[in-house]
Structure 1
């Protein structure tokens, strides 16, 4: 074969290969190829992990191409296993770390939504985070007081309570939801917390992480020693004062700052 023709064919092959390689980086293009399923799964898992790492912030909705994947994860045994692992680490820390003061000031903080109570049933009816959050609709669902407990968190809650540690619940829910929240918590088995802190009128326009940090500061000013915090959002831990340890539960349905 003449050298010129060989060179042309080689260049053509390289151009085709490079074009395919570049196209592979565009996840939307995978819909036209047999490898679409595997590549999309990888992309959506990477998106979910980076939400958990707090690298992806302030998102309004789950990416359209990942709604099905996120929905499957949030209703899967893997989601339950991930929660169980986080709770086991909390329990191990509790059993080995804490020289409790025994003065009535040993304390632990829990978030409420998707920490004690699950909002997954609500989001299952609203496209698993693929729709922009409608606060009026969500609060209407919360008023029904039908959210199920996260069973592994309930177990940790009871363990902490049995050790004589005071439990504070700090939620971004508004004060107008107090009765429904208390009813829901009691109905699914949570009893004996020291205080449920909800957002009052003065907190309406505060960012959640500032509101929660201020609530913790008030608890510390009252002499409480906060051993741990369990929450599903980074805004439950941001700011100071914090706890000696924090434990993040998975949640890629929404982001609260």
Structure 2
């Protein structure tokens, strides 16, 4: 009758000694047991790269990491899993929901000049079928403009569900939609075909880049300035996947960035 009690007392003593040993060691080196197993066993027995890909993506999204040319090789699979997984969809949905919450709280003038500016690539249209190719590897391979332009010509990009939902909600609220993209003017017909095929059926303006025009912040700022100063429009909201879509002059009353860790446009 007393054997089980003695066994329990012995087990408890061993457990107490183990806890005391861990606590004493941790006190001397407080970080030694934090995620102790992960660096050695989290990748099937292989140590992780020194580059933390989650931290890298956060730096990209917050614009703390700038002027990078391609996704680090160590983060290729991480970026692929993120873009194809549920988290990317949830992240975009959250941005779109916040944008709608903001938009429905505005008092529109009713003169038809309240516009919402959308970027296209990775904002309203997804090029994931292209970026998933081995030759692109979610941005881990060098940019091939010829191959990407051929993809644009195919007009096979997919709608980003959260953005498409927001687009339809904004139209119901009375906003005019302006698409502003850095894709060249020669691809206008392909863009129109692609947008309409996936549900973006109407807009006020579709602005593409003329041959020889610069890109990035300078280009987007110029086009937004023309919208407001020459067209008489008021940019009430502006949504893009690159900081170059949202920085600079005439950015709009409020901006919303959707995630995109696959490429950087300055």
Query: Structure 2 length normalisation: TM-score?
Result: 0.81
Could you tell me which runs of 5 or more consecutive residues in structure 2 were left unpaired when the two chains were aligned.
1-28, 33-38
Q: Is it true that 1:138 corresponds to 2:160 in the alignment?
A: no
Q: Is it true that 1:99 corresponds to 2:100 in the alignment?
A: no
Matched-pair contact (CA < 8 Å) for 1:41–1:69: no
Q: Which secondary structure state, in structure 1, belongs to the residue aligned with residue 158 of structure 2?
A: coil
Aligned to 1:13: none
Which whole-Å deviations, capped at 9, do the CAs of 1:164-201 have from their partners, x for residues lacking one?
A: 21111000100111010000000001011011000002
Could you tell me which runs of 5 or more consecutive residues in structure 1 were left unpaired when the two chains were aligned.
1-17, 22-29
Q: Is it true that 1:207 corresponds to 2:215 in the alignment?
A: yes
Give the number of aligned pairs: 226
From the CA coordinates, give the structure whose radius of gyration is larger: 2
Q: How far is 1:149 from its partner?
A: 0.2
Which stretches of structure 1, 4 residues or longer, exceed 4 Å deviation after superposition?
35-42
Aligned to 1:112: 120
Q: Compared with structure 1, are the counterparts of its residues 184 and 41 closer, same or farther at alpha carbon in structure 2 (3 Å cutoff)?
A: farther
Which whole-Å deviations, capped at 9, do the CAs of 1:53-87 have from their partners, x for residues lacking one?
A: 00111111111111011110010100000000000
Q: Is it true that 1:56 corresponds to 2:28 in the alignment?
A: no
* Cα-Cα RMSD: 2.0
Query: Structure 1 length normalisation: TM-score?
Result: 0.84
Structure number having the greater helix percentage: 1
Matched-pair contact (CA < 8 Å) for 2:183–2:208: yes
Matched-pair contact (CA < 8 Å) for 2:138–2:262: yes
Q: How far is 1:152 from its partner?
A: 1.1
Which whole-Å deviations, capped at 9, do the CAs of 1:114-136 have from their partners, x for residues lacking one?
A: 11100111110021111011010
Matched-pair contact (CA < 8 Å) for 1:230–1:247: yes
Distance 1:225 1:219 in 2: 8
Q: Which secondary structure state, in structure 2, belongs to the residue aligned with residue 109 of structure 1?
A: strand
Distance 1:67 1:239 in 2: 30
